[in-house]
Amino acid sequence: MINTLHIKNIGIIDDISINLNEGFNVLTGGTGAGKTLIIGSLQILAGGRFSKEMMRNGQKSSFVEMSMDLPNRGYEDDMVIISREITSNGKNICKINGRLVTVSELKEFMHHILDIHGQNDNQSILDTNTHIALLDGYARNEIEKVKKEYTIVYEEYLNIKKALIENYGDDKEKQRKLDLLNYQVTEIEEAHLKINEEKELEEKRKWMLASEKIAQNLEEAENQINAYAIDSINIAIKSLEQIERYHKEYPIIITRLKNSYYEIQEAARDISEFNKDVEFHEEEQMKVEERLDLIYSLKRKYGNTIEEILDYQESVKQEIFEIENLEAYITNLKKKLEETEEKMQQLAKKMHEVRKKYARELSEEINQELQELEMKNASFHIQIGALEEGKYNSNGQDIIEFMITTNIGEKAKPLVKIASGGEMSRIMLAIKNVLADIDQIPVLVFDEIDTGISGIAANSTGEKIKKIARTHQVICVTHLASIAAKGDYHYYICKEVDNGQTKTRVTQLNDEEKIKEIARIASGNITEISMRHAKELIEAGEKIA
C-alpha cells in the first residue's frame, strides 16, 4: 500500500504530501482543485508520459515520490520508495529505493503494483498476457495440479528442443565443427603438457637469466684466490719455516697458515665446479622461452592453468565423440521430443477443458456484476483461442482474451477497444470485484468511475469498491455522495491563493467534516436535511464492511 504521496510542481500543485491509509481512500473537491493532478502524478510514477504543460509555471522541474509497504517482495523492512523527477529540458531521473532506473524499468515495476482505472495506459487487466493468469487463478482448485505437471514436462521439452537446435545443423556445419575440434585436440596433445611443468620452467628461466652474472662472479673469485691468496699464503709459510726455530709460537702460526692454505685451495676447487654448473647456454635458454610461450598461448585459448587445458581437451574429445555419433544421438532426442509432446498435448487438453468450464463461470459472475452496475446491455465473455498446431508455451496451447460488448447488436470487442472511460471503469470494477482474491495488484485507483451513473448504479458501484478495499488499497476520485460515503478515509481537495499564486491544498477530513462534505456533494448546500442524509449514507456504508 501507499503510505505517503509527495507531489511538487505539478500544475497548480506547489508542494503537498498526502498520507494515505489501508482500505478505501476517497478524494473529493471542487472542479479544477487538483484531483486530476493527483491521479496524474500517480500516472507519472507508474511510468506514464509527462507533458511539459503539466509543470508548474516558472519551475524548472517536477517531482513525484511515494513510500510504500510491499510485504513479501524481498525488500528490507518491506519499505519501498519510488520517485521520478522530470526537468524542463526533458531529463528523467527515476529511482526505486535510491537505485537509478530507466522509465521503462519503472513502468515494468509499477505494472505489478498500481492499476489506474480511467487512464487505460496503466490498467494491467487490459494486458492480454494477464488474462490467462487471472482465469487460471480463478480455476486454481482444479487447474493447479495439472499446470504444475505440465510445467515440468514443458521445461523438459524446451531442453530437448535446445539440444536439437545446438546440434551443428547440416553436414557442412558438422564437418566445420569437427575440423575445429580436432585441431584443438591435436594442438594440445602435441604440446605434451605436464602438471607443474610451467612452474618448473619459470624457475629454470629465472636461474638462467641470472647464470651469466653468477658465472662472472664465480670466475672472478676463483682467479683472485689462485692469483693472490694461495701463492701469498704459500710464500708466507716458507718464510716462517726459515725462522721457526727461533720462537716457540712460529710453528703454531705455520700450522694455522697451512690449514688456511688447504681450506682456500678446497674453496677454489668448489668455486671452479660451481662455475662449470652455471655455464650459460643461450640455446637452452631459447628452448625454455619457447616452451613457456607455447604454454602461455594454450592458456589464452583453452584455460587458465595446465589442468584446465587438459580438462578442456577431454571435453572436446567427448564433443567429437557426440558429433561422430550424432545420428544416433539425434534419433534418441527426437524420440524423447515426440514422447514429451504427447504428454504436453494431453496435459494442455486437460487445462483447456478446465479453462472452458471456468471461463463460463467467470463470465457469468462478471455479467452479474455488470447488471448490478446498471450496464444491462453489456455482455462479457472469455474468448479461448489456440496457438498454431504443434506450438506450445508455458500455459499450454490456449490463448485467453477478455471480450465485451456494451450495446445490443454490437460484436464483442477486446477490453482495450472500449472507448468510454466511464464504461471502462465499471467493467474494470466488475472484473476486479470477482477476482479480488486472485488479483495481486495491491493498489487500485478509480478516476471518474461515477461518470454517467447515479441512483442504484452509483450505490452498487460504491458497495463493490468497498468490498475490493478489503483486500486492496483503493484510491477513488468521485463526485457522488453515495460512493464517497462508503470510504474509510476522506480527503478534501481545494485550491487557494497564496501571494498571488494558486495552490492545491489537501486535507484529511475528520468525521464531522466528512459528513459536511458528503452533504455538500449530495445537495450542493449544507443543511440539516442534507446533513441527515449524509449521516444515513455513511451508516449504510459502514454496514457493508
Reference 405, options 414, 397, 396; nearest CA is 414
Assigned domain for 183 exists? no
Average pLDDT, the chain: 86
The pLDDT assigned to 25 comes to 95
Q: Which of the residue ranges 38-42, 166-170, 243-247, 340-344 would you say has the lowest mean pLDDT?
A: 166-170
The pLDDT assigned to 529 comes to 85
Element (H, E) at 87: strand 79-87
Assigned domain for 404 exists? no
Chain mean position to CA 500: 48
CA distance 18 to 24: 15
In which band, very low, low, confident or very high, does the pLDDT at 419 lie, cut at 50, 70 and 90?
Answer: low
Assigned domain for 271 exists? yes
Helix 171-191, helix 306-324: angle, nearest 10: 150
The pLDDT assigned to 386 comes to 93
Measured over all CA atoms, what is the biggest interatomic distance in the chain, rounded to whole angstroms?
Answer: 151
Reference 521, options 511, 510, 533, 509; nearest CA is 533
CA distance 107 to 493: 27
Q: What is the mean pLDDT of residues 391-419?
A: 87
CATH of the domain at 23: 3.40.50.300
CA distance 144 to 358: 13
pLDDT in tens, 269-305: 887 777 776 665 667 778 888 888 999 999 999 999 9
Domain boundary among 294, 319, 344: 319
Q: Which of the residue ranges 2-6, 131-135, 254-258 would you say has the lowest mean pLDDT?
A: 254-258
Domain boundary among 293, 319, 345: 319
Q: What is the CA radius of gyration of the chain?
A: 44
Q: How many domains does the chain have?
A: 2
pLDDT in tens, 317-354: 998 888 888 778 788 888 999 999 999 999 999 999 99
Assigned domain for 298 exists? yes
Q: What is the mean pLDDT of residues 26-52?
A: 88
Element (H, E) at 69: strand 61-69
∠ at Cα 369 (365, 370), nearest 5°? 115
- Let me know whether 203 and 312 are in one domain: yes
Its domain, for residue 290, covers: 197-319
The pLDDT assigned to 332 comes to 87
Which are the contacts of 433, defined by CB distance < 8 A and separation ≥ 6? 369, 464, 467, 468
Which cell goes with 195? 602438471
Q: Map 197-263 to HEC letters.
A: HHHHHHHHHHHHHHHHHHHHHHHHHHHHHHHHHHHHHHHHHHHHHCCHHHCCCHHHHHHHHHHHHHH
Q: Which of the residue ranges 5-9, 131-135, 248-252, 420-424 would you say has the lowest mean pLDDT?
A: 420-424
pLDDT in tens, 362-386: 999 999 988 888 788 889 999 999 9
Place of cell 697451512: 258
∠ at Cα 534 (533, 535), nearest 5°? 90
94 pLDDT more than 90: yes
Q: What is the mean pLDDT of residues 511-532?
A: 88
Chain mean position to CA 357: 36
What is the three-class DSSP state of 314? helix
Place of cell 477476482: 435
- Let me know whether 201 and 107 are in one domain: no
Assigned domain for 423 exists? no
121 pLDDT more than 60: no
What is the three-class DSSP state of 96? strand
N residues, the chain: 545
Whether the Cβ atoms of residue 234 and residue 258 lie closer than 8 Å to each other: no
Domain boundary among 297, 319, 341: 319
Strand partners, 385: 399
151 pLDDT more than 70: yes
In which band, very low, low, confident or very high, does the pLDDT at 119 lie, cut at 50, 70 and 90?
Answer: very low
Q: Which residue has the higher pLDDT, 212 or 161?
A: 161
Assigned domain for 376 exists? no
Q: What is the mean pLDDT of residues 486-512?
A: 90
Assigned domain for 24 exists? yes
CA distance 423 to 233: 121
In which band, very low, low, confident or very high, does the pLDDT at 122 lie, cut at 50, 70 and 90?
Answer: very low
pTM of model > 0.75: no
Q: What is the mean pLDDT of residues 84-112?
A: 91
Assigned domain for 382 exists? no
pLDDT > 90: percent of the chain: 37
Enumerate helices (H) and strands (E) in the chain, giving the number of each. Answer: 16, 15
Reference 540, options 487, 469, 475; nearest CA is 487
Reference 44, options 56, 29, 57, 54; nearest CA is 54
Q: Which residue has the higher pLDDT, 504 or 498?
A: 504
Q: Which residue has the higher pLDDT, 516 or 456?
A: 516
The pLDDT assigned to 118 comes to 60
Reference 498, options 5, 10, 12; nearest CA is 12
Task: Name the DSSP letter for residue 398.
Answer: E
Place of cell 494491467: 124
The pLDDT assigned to 281 comes to 66
167 pLDDT more than 70: no
